Chains A and B, each alone.
Chain A
């Protein structure tokens, strides 16, 4: 799909959006350390861990499928 027409693979776009969302959610998770939301199990800091997971996965997708300069 990507070689013949040099289309940026869909996985790169997936990686970019997961990475951006990961950064935003991680930042929210850090802020919530001192201002926890009124949700159930907020003491587990789900935003923090979910943000880290999204950054790792998004980063991997972006790194592996980064469009190469010709």
Chain B
């Protein structure tokens, strides 16, 4: 789940008042809907049991045998990021802020994904690393790997718990389900299929989820556009219902913090979101990168993110458009979650409301299954990434070196179960102390920006030294935490960190990421100047200028990753122009 980009929206759910159980449920399921949900659970468990026989080696369990085609890896890569909370959060944001929310899918994703495919993926793949901390070990040594692995495994387990709690809360609000039931059923199912089939199982289920999300959500924009009489009818109805707001332009209102409801300036969007947060997330968050590392060859590894970029570009059709359609067709106005009164609905309920508007029995079950699949794949993604990083980057180098491959696979299965138990504990902790979510999710985004600085410099500059990699990462992470705490305990600091006292949470995140990335880069450069670099021969396969990348000159144009990346970039620019 793309929480590092969307966590303030996720908090909308948790700010909502107690829905008083079944009395406030938005949707009533029929037997056919329940059958559809039960079939989904049976299918994911069946896939886990089936794949267990292929995951007896470490390569099979932790890296899915490195046999994924570009299409499977690409869909899994996008699916691991397409969480249910994100779908509902961004649909809510598009109701609240209009098409501005699409920035998180376009400039906040497409350039970064293409950068991963063309520039960074060759090094992850050629170095044969099993993880992002594993790359840091090869490039900088054990200390940088240990620091990154410790922070990453800690955060992923907590994030899986947050996913679990979020799913339970959403199911309670939307369907009136008991929260303990949702937590335990989802946790046990995910633990079983990941412990059995490892990354193989997680990837197979993510591809399945990809199709369920699209077929579960696609009817809303199709029927919505029929109801409004197409795009022009949609615009006319929005302008009629909300004459004061500008809901349909991407860039026009970003000249000043005060001109748009998000409180964001275009520099924050371009440099904070489009560069540091987005590129940092898409290129160094092991949860998504792991899917591409499992590709069968380097061409597939480069193509997988590029294929994913096309689908990512299309996601606003099923997420942003329903929010805009709600502005046009709902006979009542939605309100902020903390202002919901009797008989009212919050922004965050927009997607379930639109689902209930157009989908009868059967289709409703498909839509709800899509949401459940989104939550469960988020948990599975976190847990499978945790199992790999814990086993290969912490347990093997620091706790038990030199054990057999089968021992590490057993450890992978065991820590999947243990990780899930810790996640369940986190879910219950979040139930008692909601503010913990704020800290956990902020910490996740805090870690990504400096890690990106460390990995990027390591890949592009052969002079960077092992000591500089470690100290740069530590300084960037520490500065990010410090800025977060400064604003938390002294709100006037916001004017210095986010350049405006009017900046909202999202703007604060972007500028904090930008500064922590810069601090990481500056510290890395300064320490590099005073310490000894690694010999060039030890950097082969890890750094530009020291690595011979396979030529694609013999391939026809339409088979080259760079060609499809170029097409994707042109489509992205055309979208910016259309919705300027």
Q: Which residues of A contact B (CB under 8 A)?
A: 1, 4-5, 7-8, 10, 13-14, 16-18, 20-21, 24-25, 27-29, 32, 36-42, 44, 46-47, 50-51, 54
Contacts and interface: CB of A to CB of B under 8 A. Distances in A.
Nearest to B64: A1
A21 B360 contact: no
A14 to B, nearest CB: 5
Given A8-B50, A14-B207, A41-B226, A20 B39 contact: yes
Interface in B175-218: 203-204, 207-208, 211-212, 215
Nearest to B210: A14
B211 A51 contact: no
Given A1-B72, A10-B207, A50-B219, 19 more contacts: A1-B67, A1-B69, A4-B67, A5-B54, A13-B204, A14-B211, A17-B40, A17-B211, A21-B39, A24-B32, A24-B36, A25-B32, A25-B366, A39-B358, A41-B223, A41-B226, A46-B219, A47-B360, A47-B363
Contacts of A42: 360
A40 B358 contact: yes
Nearest to B35: A24
A7 B51 CA distance: 8
**A-B pairs, 6 with minimum CB distance:** A37-B360, A28-B362, A25-B362, A1-B67, A10-B204, A10-B207
A23 B168 CA distance: 29
A13 B362 contact: no
B314 to A, nearest CB: 17
A14 B208 contact: yes
Contacts of B363: 25, 28, 46-47, 50
B43 A17 contact: yes
Contacts of B362: 24-25, 27-29, 47, 51
A21 B67 CA distance: 29
A49 to B, nearest CB: 9
B221 to A, nearest CB: 12
A12 to B, nearest CB: 10
B interface, over-half SS: helix
B68 A40 contact: no
B207 A21 contact: no
Nearest to A14: B211
Contacts of B211: 14, 17-18
B361 to A, nearest CB: 5
Contacts of A50: 215, 219, 363
Contacts, number: 94
23 contacts: A1-B67, A1-B68, A1-B69, A4-B67, A5-B54, A7-B51, A10-B203, A16-B43, A17-B40, A20-B39, A24-B32, A25-B362, A28-B363, A32-B360, A39-B358, A40-B358, A44-B223, A44-B226, A46-B223, A46-B363, A47-B362, A50-B215, A54-B215
B227 interface: yes
B361 A28 contact: yes
A39 B359 contact: yes
B546 interface: no
A54 to B, nearest CB: 6
B24 interface: no
Contacts of A36: 360
A46 B361 contact: no
B47 interface: yes
Contacts of A5: 54, 65, 67
Interface string B45-89: 001001100100000000001011100100000000000000000
A54 B211 CA distance: 10
Contacts of A4: 67
B230 to A, nearest CB: 14
A17 B296 contact: no
A36 to B, nearest CB: 8
Contact of A28 (B67, B68, B207, B360): B360
A16 B54 CA distance: 21
Contacts of B227: 40-41
A39 to B, nearest CB: 5
B39 A40 contact: no
Given A1-B69, A32-B360, A13 B219 contact: no
Contacts of B215: 18, 21, 50, 54
B46 to A, nearest CB: 8
A37 B355 CA distance: 13
A40 B362 CA distance: 15
A47 to B, nearest CB: 5
A14 B44 CA distance: 11
Contacts of A54: 215
B357 interface: yes
A36 B68 CA distance: 44
Interface centre among A5, A27, A28 (most CB of B within 10 A): A28
A5 B66 CA distance: 12
A37 B361 contact: yes
A11 to B, nearest CB: 8
Contacts of A51: 362
Contacts of B361: 28, 32, 37, 47
B359 A13 contact: no
Contact of A7 (B36, B43, B54): B54
Contacts of A13: 43, 47, 204, 208
